[in-house]
Amino acid sequence: MNALIISAILGVVMMFSSILLKQKNAVRSVAVSGIILLLLANILEMSGTVFFKVNTRGMIVFDQFALLFNSIIFLATLLYLLLSAKDMEKVGVNYAEYFALIFFILCGITLVSSFKSLLILFLGIEIISIPLYILTGSDKRNLKSNEASLKYFLLGSFSTGLMLMGIALYYGARGTFSTVIDPLITVTANPLLISGMSLLLFSMAFKVSAAPFHFWTPDVYDGAPTVFTSFMATIIKAAVFIGFIRLFDDAFEQVQSTWRIWIAVMTAVTLFIGNITAVFQQSVKRMLAYSSIAQAGFMLLSLYSMNTEAKEGLLIYAAAYCFATIGIFAVLAKMNDYTFDGFNGLSKREPLIAATLTILLLSLAGIPLTAGFLAKFYMLKATIATPNSLWLVIFAVLMAAVSVYYYFRVIQAIYFKEESTSSPTIEFSPFFKGAMLILAGLVILLGLFPDILVNWLYF
Amino acid sequence: MPINNYILLSIALFCIGIVGVLTRRNAIIIFMCIELMLNAVNLLLVAFSKMHAKAALLAGDISGTAGTDGQLFVFFIMVVAAAEVSVGLAIIVMMYRNIHSVDVNFLNRLKH
């Protein structure tokens, strides 16, 4: 409850700070201290200190899973702001409002990670989505940003409509919006419940950009300003995944036999389309968009297996994926040239940035000693534990091998290609380099000792 | 009236909305079709709410609170839809200022 209320207040504070503070540095410091406050308040709640006691009538339950996930998200947002907050100046004039919207989105994420009623899920998803439409279109003079924003808005509200229909049918079948089901009651698979479940499945798949509902992702991620693409591709995606897994774990656990095969097919198709299309991209930004689809495919494995390892694995996956992608996008946002050639010869100019970027890319590709490897390992371990799923595991490993190709293309450009002489040099501040070092350090630390994260779940 | 009539009506409205979203090319009309989908859901929720209230009454629950959450949900949908309208129309206006059209066929440019 701490994080929910404080994030909403911080959003309002950021809106006022645009009136009161004229300097952009001051606004930025307010935002960064705000997110640190949020993180601390959430960690305090994990150890039992709750500032606000609100009776939500069981609609919101902050269990250890939700709180730990929120902490990961807030830490990722903190690192995101440290790395990319300066680049938001380039997007438009409403600097403080962007931070306000980000805090409102965090409020929505807190709801999505802790709902026990479909009403809260709906509100959370909408509180995440509506500010995102604005952030996508925040580069008002840029036609690509406009188009991305309109496309995202139309398709996003369409999927919200599907989700609401699913919720209404669920309500018709069960007579309540609560996702808590008494284990003594057996839920019969009547047509109302099954059709509601499939509509919810479609709309959530849409929001996490799982194939065949992924078609909007590359366009929107490509058109949005790069700083906000970074936020959308990492933090939002992980948050919606937590909502997805909570929904199907709680509300539809008893009809698992009907949806498990759908998820399996969806996972396989997502992995295939994401990885194969990413191979053919020329722009790193678009490649990262397809890579985010591919990584979503891996995260879907946790939904397929739905056991303890899958939940632990999803937390590690969310952390590993967010940290790595935020770092890569932060460097990309500073580039003038978004093609692979833009990275040529980076190791000569900026050896430190090149080294950290390589670690992050290796983590995304799933090379051992990094968090990405361990995250993939947990997912596959969880999937093997489910019966009749060997084909999916083998397919996922094959697709992970394909993904190595396009991540290594960037590494190859950084280390083994000559820089063209005409390109203007890019300045990286010492502060930026420090933040990148922290990210790379976190990725390796998590890859060596995943227990420091997982242990939080159980005490 | 039996509940089936309400379910059929709202599913018909919902399908009209979906077909409109998928076939029309004008952003405003697509938007109206999305609103139609949301209102179909509202209708369905109210119908289900009455159905559950009646079922609870027949089962001997005289508190009268059964089924009210469905009607409450409708208010939330209205509020969220209003927020979505304000943001959506702003986006459409922004688009119109730049290209003097609200035709979504222009959106294909992003693919290249």
Phi, psi for A420 (deg, rounded to 5): -75, 140
Taking the alpha carbons of A355, A360, A366, A368 in that order, is the dihedral positive or negative?
A: positive
Q: What's the mean pLDDT in A84-111?
A: 91
Across all residues in chain A, what is the average pLDDT?
A: 90
- For A244, A308, B106, the CA distances from A383, given in Å and listed in that order, are 17, 11, 43
User: C-alpha dihedral over A333, A334, A338, A340, to 10 degrees?
Assistant: -120
| Segment A259-283, tens digit of pLDDT | 888 999 999 999 999 999 999 999 9
Residues B10, A373: Cα–Cα separation, whole Å: 48
**Residue A79 in this model has a pLDDT that exceeds 90:** yes
Hey, are the CB atoms on B17 and A164 less than 8 Å from each other? no
B contacts of A158 (beta carbons < 8 Å): 21, 34, 37
Binned at pLDDT 50, 70 and 90, residue A6 comes out as very high
Hey, are the CB atoms on B41 and A161 less than 8 Å from each other? yes
Binned at pLDDT 50, 70 and 90, residue A422 comes out as low
Give the three-class secondary structure for A169: helix
Contact B30, A154 (CB under 8 A): yes
Q: What's the mean pLDDT in A198-227?
A: 91
Give the three-class secondary structure for A117: strand
Residue among A107, A118, A98, A120 nearest A31 (CA)? A98
Name the residue of chain B whose CA is nearest to A155's CA: B21
A contacts of B66 (beta carbons < 8 Å): 175
**Residue A161 in this model has a pLDDT that exceeds 80:** yes
pLDDT at A75: 94
| Segment A104-140, tens digit of pLDDT | 999 999 999 999 999 999 999 999 999 999 999 998 8
**Residue A298 in this model has a pLDDT that exceeds 60:** yes
Asked if B85 is an interface residue toward chain A (Cβ–Cβ < 8 A), one would say no
Name the residue of chain B whose CA is nearest to A127's CA: B80
Binned at pLDDT 50, 70 and 90, residue A450 comes out as confident
- The total of structural domains in chain A comes to 1
C-alpha distance from A454 to closest chain B C-alpha (Å): 36
Name the residue of chain B whose CA is nearest to A154's CA: B31
Asked if B93 is an interface residue toward chain A (Cβ–Cβ < 8 A), one would say no
Hey, are the CB atoms on B69 and A119 less than 8 Å from each other? yes
Contact A71, A79 (CB under 8 A): no
**Residue A252 in this model has a pLDDT that exceeds 90:** no
Name the residue of chain B whose CA is nearest to A119's CA: B73
End-to-end CA distance of chain A: 19
**DSSP per-residue letters across A36-82:** HHHHHHHHHHHTT--S-----TTSB---HHHHHHHHHHHHHHHHHHH
pTM exceeding the 0.90 threshold for the entire prediction: yes
Side chain identity at residue A104, one-letter code? F
Query: Bigger pLDDT: B3 or A326?
Result: A326
Please enumerate in sequence order all residues whose Cβ is within 8 A of that of A172, keeping only pairs 6 or more positions apart, or say none: A192, A196, B7, B44, B48, B51
Residues A103, A69: Cα–Cα separation, whole Å: 16
pLDDT at A186: 73
Residue A215, class by beta-carbon neighbours within 10 Å (0-12 exposed, 13-18 middle, 19+ buried)?
Answer: middle
Hey, are the CB atoms on B88 and A133 less than 8 Å from each other? yes
pLDDT at A190: 85
Q: How many contiguous H segments (helices) and E segments (strands) does chain A have?
A: 19, 0
Q: Between B34, B94, B110, which is nearest A161 by CB?
A: B34
Binned at pLDDT 50, 70 and 90, residue A189 comes out as confident
Q: Between B72, B94, B107, which is nearest A137 by CB?
A: B94
Residues A191, B86: Cα–Cα separation, whole Å: 36
pLDDT at B62: 75
Residues A93, A79: Cα–Cα separation, whole Å: 23
Query: Bigger pLDDT: A95 or B108?
Result: A95
Residues A54, B55: Cα–Cα separation, whole Å: 32
- For A376, A458, B52, the CA distances from A382, given in Å and listed in that order, are 10, 18, 40
Name the residue of chain B whose CA is nearest to A220's CA: B110
Residues A95, A25: Cα–Cα separation, whole Å: 10
| Segment A219-235, tens digit of pLDDT | 999 999 999 999 999 99
**Residue A459 in this model has a pLDDT that exceeds 70:** no
pLDDT at B108: 67
Residue among A239, A300, A225, A302 nearest A106 (CA)? A239
Residues A314, A244: Cα–Cα separation, whole Å: 11
Residues A411, A196: Cα–Cα separation, whole Å: 45
A contacts of B76 (beta carbons < 8 Å): 119, 122-123
Please enumerate in sequence order all residues whose Cβ is within 8 A of that of A327, keeping only pairs 6 or more positions apart, or say none: A83, A356, A357, A360, A436, A439, A440
pLDDT at A141: 86
Q: What's the mean pLDDT in A16-29?
A: 89
- Tokens representing A215? 């078609």
Query: Bigger pLDDT: B67 or A236?
Result: A236
Contact A321, A233 (CB under 8 A): no
B contacts of A165 (beta carbons < 8 Å): 14, 37, 40-41, 44
Q: Between A122, A137, A219, which is nearest B91 by CB?
A: A137
Residue among A369, A242, A249 nearest A315 (CA)? A242
Give the three-class secondary structure for A178: strand
Q: What's the mean pLDDT in A372-396?
A: 91
Q: Domains of chain B by range and CATH?
A: 3-111 (1.10.287.3510)
User: Which residues of chain B have a pLDDT value below 50?
Assistant: none
Asked if A119 is an interface residue toward chain B (Cβ–Cβ < 8 A), one would say yes
Q: Which domain holds residue A245?
A: 2-458
C-alpha distance from B71 to closest chain A C-alpha (Å): 11
